[in-house]
A and B are shown apart, each in its own frame.
Chain A
Amino acid sequence: MSLTSFTIAEARTKLRAKEFSAVELTEAYLAAMEQGAGLNAFITTTPEIARERAKAADARLKSGSTAALEGIPLGIKDLFCTEGVLTTAASHILDGFKPRYESTVTAKLRDAGSVMLGKLNLDEFAMGSATITSFYGPTKNPWKARNSNADLVPGGSSGGSAASVAGGLALGATGTDTGGSIRQPAAFAGIVGVKPTYGRCSRWGVVAFASSLDQAGPMTRTVRDSAIMLGVMCGHDPKDSTSANRAVPDFEAALARGVKGLRIGIPKEYRPDGLNAEVSALWDQGMQWLKDAGATPVEISLPHTKYALPTYYIVAPAEASSNLARYDGVRFGLRVPGQSLDEMYSKTRAAGFGAEVKRRVLIGTYVLSAGYYDAYYLKAQKVRALIAKDFDDAFEKVDAILTPTAPSAAFAIGERMDDPVAMYLNDVFTVPASLAGIPGASVPAGLTSTGLPLGLQVLTKRWDEETMFAVCQVLEDAAQFKRLV
């Protein structure tokens, strides 16, 4: 059995028992990263930092350290600022940017003993569902359809994270989720992805896309590994005014709770006409597994579901157009000279941003501009309130909600690129929870007839990640999903 095949929980036990060292484990991953370079999962690799941190972890393990992630090699989505290490957001406009500070989440992971392997590829500024808009080229999914050699997308925007964890190039990874960017790639790559409640993880030092939606979370091979990682990543941070001042629950302890007596909501609006039959059947199967474990299915209605995507495509671009105003060629990254200040701004931004980012900046600027603000932005904020209320009402009747994570399995690189709206539909099942700010997780639950992974999504009310983890664990135990690694 190779060193890269263990889960975080297994590696933790074996590192503490000195069955192997953090340096040996890290070297195994650095070798796997070289071998798997064709996936284009990493934008930047940091072998020197990795070796240094692994050595320090071994010294601490020797003196009996039981830090949560001591010696565990992780990949970091290249949206987290890392001190002295190139941070790109997969955009040309951040050329050469080496932050002088460390994001709160990656500082917590570092301080818990983890080893940073490098910075992972993503859609430019996390805007996408396939990791095809990166300035550094697309990431490939390590999965392939049976009898086909076509390269598939790993989902997005955390596609580098998904591919690296599924392909054995990292033991776990950070992701960020604005409308599904952790959950959808986790489903496409057959791994677990968790978006916690908005406010659980500090956004300080994470390159901002849409500030009222962005949340960091773990992407791992198992539910337990996500519980371990999330426990380290979250917690109050005075540097983020929306970070919750709440105690961090023991997520790992919640895994053993089971689902006996829980009421599981099945929202009828998530089964539109024409829903992929395999996705639909897996959803039924998931509910059957929970029933077998003692839960009760309850049909519920989330009546404003169909408005979630159009609402998101006003709110997120509006916030993005404001957040991305900082890329002006003055303080960091790319600068294209111009005769005047405005010309320098316009030329820099035209050269630095890719097509999808420009599209969203323009939409956002439009819906916020004089005469359109009320009709679009304010309207969307009101519909968002109704979407959140749908969930509040539902959680009066149920403890958790079960849905598919995505409407399909991974598709080929190059597909669905002509029509932006068709690409946006990937996130139809994940966006509503993002708008409501509630936690959601994707668990790999089965394969399509062509052998590609499909995920199930578990949603709970705000701050109730513990119930979410309990449900996910039962699904994982029942599904017996066969990972690549």
Chain B
Amino acid sequence: MSLDKATVRRIATLARLDVPDSDLEPLANELSSIMGWIEQLQEVDTTSVAPMTGGTDMKLVWRVDEVTDGGKPDDVLANATDSQGAFFTVPKVVE
């Protein structure tokens, strides 16, 4: 599987990673080489195999849907670069 520059550009946008144009080519080569190595999985017969979706055979447990924590706006905001009142700030998104 070979990734071209356009594909790297597209996944970088999906991943919200700013990638300068000069890095697209080397990244495409690196990722292509990793994906090429991964390609060997296609030779495994997985017909009627159920996917393993977690690290354990345990069933997830149910619990009562109730509030067990909260009311700590100061703790929540303590590590923000910028906040106003009880809010995080971000660049303006609505004109």
Contact = CB atoms under 8 A, between A and B. Distances in A.
B16 A362 contact: no
A310 B41 contact: yes
A314 B31 contact: no
B73 to A, nearest CB: 11
Interface string A326-366: 00111111110111111111110110010000110111011
23 contacts: A97-B79, A199-B58, A212-B55, A310-B37, A330-B80, A330-B90, A335-B82, A337-B91, A344-B91, A349-B17, A350-B17, A350-B19, A359-B30, A362-B17, A362-B27, A363-B34, A365-B15, A366-B11, A366-B31, A369-B14, A379-B42, A380-B41, A437-B57
B66 interface: no
A158 B93 CA distance: 41
A323 B40 CA distance: 26
Interface string B33-49: 11101101110101001
B85 to A, nearest CB: 15
B67 interface: no
Given A313-B34, A382-B51, A385-B52, A462 B57 contact: yes
Interface of A: 96-101, 198-199, 211-213, 215, 238, 241-242, 244-245, 304, 306-307, 310-311, 313-314, 321, 325, 328-335, 337-347, 349-350, 353, 358-359, 361-363, 365-366, 369, 375-376, 378-386, 388, 420-421, 435, 437, 462
Of the candidates A213, A343, A382, the one having the most CB atoms from chain B within 10 angstroms of its own CB is A382
A341 B93 contact: yes
Given A375-B42, A386-B46, 8 more contacts: A241-B60, A314-B41, A332-B80, A345-B16, A346-B13, A346-B17, A349-B18, A363-B34
B84 interface: no
Nearest to B46: A382
A362 B49 contact: no
A362 B55 contact: no
A350 B30 contact: no
Contacts of A238: 63
Given A100-B78, A362-B27, A369-B11, A420 B34 contact: yes
A364 to B, nearest CB: 8
Contacts of B27: 359, 362
B31 A362 contact: yes
Nearest to B7: A366
A381 B60 CA distance: 18
A420 B34 CA distance: 8
A331 B55 contact: no
A339 B92 CA distance: 8
7 nearest A-B pairs in the assembled complex, by CB-CB distance: A381-B51, A198-B55, A332-B79, A350-B18, A382-B46, A346-B18, A385-B52
Interface string B50-76: 111111111011010000000010011
Nearest to A364: B15
A353 B60 contact: no
Nearest to A345: B16
A107 to B, nearest CB: 15
A199 B55 contact: yes
A361 B56 contact: no
B18 A344 contact: no
Nearest to B53: A381
B6 interface: no
A421 B33 contact: yes
B91 A328 contact: no
Contact of A346 (B16, B31, B34, B52): B16
A311 B41 contact: yes
B52 to A, nearest CB: 4
A350 B12 CA distance: 10
Contact of B44 (A304, A329, A363): A304
B72 to A, nearest CB: 8
A382 B41 CA distance: 10
A421 B17 contact: no
B56 A420 contact: no
**In the complex, which of the residues A245, A333, A385 has the most CB atoms of chain B within 10 Å of its own CB atom?**
A385
A156 B28 CA distance: 26
B64 to A, nearest CB: 11
Nearest to A100: B75
B36 to A, nearest CB: 9
Contacts of A101: 75
Nearest to A381: B51
A359 B3 CA distance: 13
A379 B1 CA distance: 15
Given A97-B79, A344-B90, A365-B11, A437 B19 contact: no
A241 B61 contact: yes
Contact of B56 (A100, A334, A339, A437): A437
B56 A363 contact: no
A331 B83 CA distance: 9
A375 B39 CA distance: 10
A359 B31 CA distance: 7
